[in-house]
Amino acid sequence: TGSVTAAQRAVTGEPPSSRMEAPGKVNLFLAVGPTRADGYHSLATLYAAVDVREAVTVSFAPDLPEGHIDCTLEVVPGSLVDQQVERGSFDPVSVPMDESNLAVRAARTVIERAGGLPGGVRVHIEKAVPVAGGMGGGSADAAAAIKAAVELVFAVTGRETLVSDSLEIARGLGADVPFAMTGGAAIGTGTGAELSPVPVSSPWPAVLIADDGALSTPSVFSRLDALREQGQAVTPRDEDLQVPDELLGALAGDPGSDSSALSLLRNDLQTPALDLAPHLVPRLEELRMAGSIPIVSGSGPTLIALTRDHESARILAAHLREVGAHAVPVVLG
């Protein structure tokens, strides 16, 4: 991360600009409760950041009309998205460049709340996290854009944004955005936006496997509801929505806990995601046979396979790439 602020601007003559990063995420645990009166599901989740990061640069553009936001996107070389581009499975149209882009909405909200800027703004996204992959890439863009816009507003006007205001803006943009602001690992309750950070002793090695397809989060939740109505999936009661202590202990490196805690990994969206993308079923089985512990990430279709150590992650990712999959070794937390 980093930014160019007033002092450097005086030297370069460039308008101020700020570049910030935010991580993609996986859910190591995701228990989905009943549908609430407001249509959302209550849930209990254990988020872990992935060392695949989005970056967003927000620049002041005095040449553009006040209130105008221009958005551009670049794919990070070597990233999972780049592997999708090479295979022709990345559709640039899948990311809207208009006002519905989460980074644009984030920058606009921060700037308007601060009373505006005397000109337009350019938002540039460096995309590394697969789109609609269940890894919160759009949420990471929103989080990075909030931080960058806060810095930019300060550089241009000297007005400060309170941390509490930034977090409120984050919550307003999506349930996964607050976590993308903080990173690390955290329990999320409510819709996922109420966070309690949890300690991580040493980040967990894993392999991320991106899919050529995409799954929309609302359609996966709808399929879960349908399966539950048909009696093919159980609905946990609100009081059962708890991230197991043994799993938290394993993440914190509690000496009493061992790898059996990994059997507590859970994702209630996995069954409906596999229903919508059945080609993932044999892939999960292959990952199990290879000695890893795979789960669907969030609403899918990205898979995350936990491995014994970093070397195993590197070897598994290299093997998967040889057989044509998009895979990268990562660390979680």
Please tell me whether 257 is known to bind a ligand.
no
> Tokens 């197991």 correspond to what residue?
244
**Catalytic residue check, 147:** no
Q: Does 45 bind ligand ATP (CB under 6 A)?
A: no
Cα 272 → chain centroid: 20
Among 16, 33, 136, 192, binds ligand ATP (CB under 6 A): 136
Among 17, 217, 267, 307, binds ligand ATP (CB under 6 A): 217
HEC profile for 266-298?
A: EECCHHHHHHHCCCHHHHHHHHHHCCCEEEECC
Q: Which of 127, 141, 147, 176 is catalytic?
A: 176
Angle at 240 between CA 265 and CA 132, to 5 degrees: 50
Among 15, 23, 120, 134, binds ligand ATP (CB under 6 A): 134
- What is the residue type of 258? D
CB 142 within 8 A of CB 213: no
Mark residues 69-98: x for contact with ligand ATP by CB under 6 A, - for none.
Answer: -------------------------xxx--
Angle at 238 between CA 235 and CA 240, to 5 degrees: 80
Please tell me whether 183 is known to bind a ligand.
no
**Catalytic residue check, 25:** yes
CB-based burial, 30-60: b 16+ in 10 Å, e otherwise: bbbbeeeeeeebbbbbbbbbbebbbbbbbbb
Q: Which of 25, 127, 147, 268 is catalytic?
A: 25
Mark residues 150-189: x for contact with ligand ATP by CB under 6 A, - for none.
Answer: --------------------------x-------------
Please tell me whether 244 is known to bind a ligand.
no
Mark residues 288-327: x for contact with ligand ATP by CB under 6 A, - for none.
Answer: ----------xx----------------------------
> What are the residues binding ligand ATP (CB under 6 A)?
94-96, 100-103, 125, 131-139, 141, 176, 217, 298-299
Q: What residues are annotated to the active site?
A: 25, 176
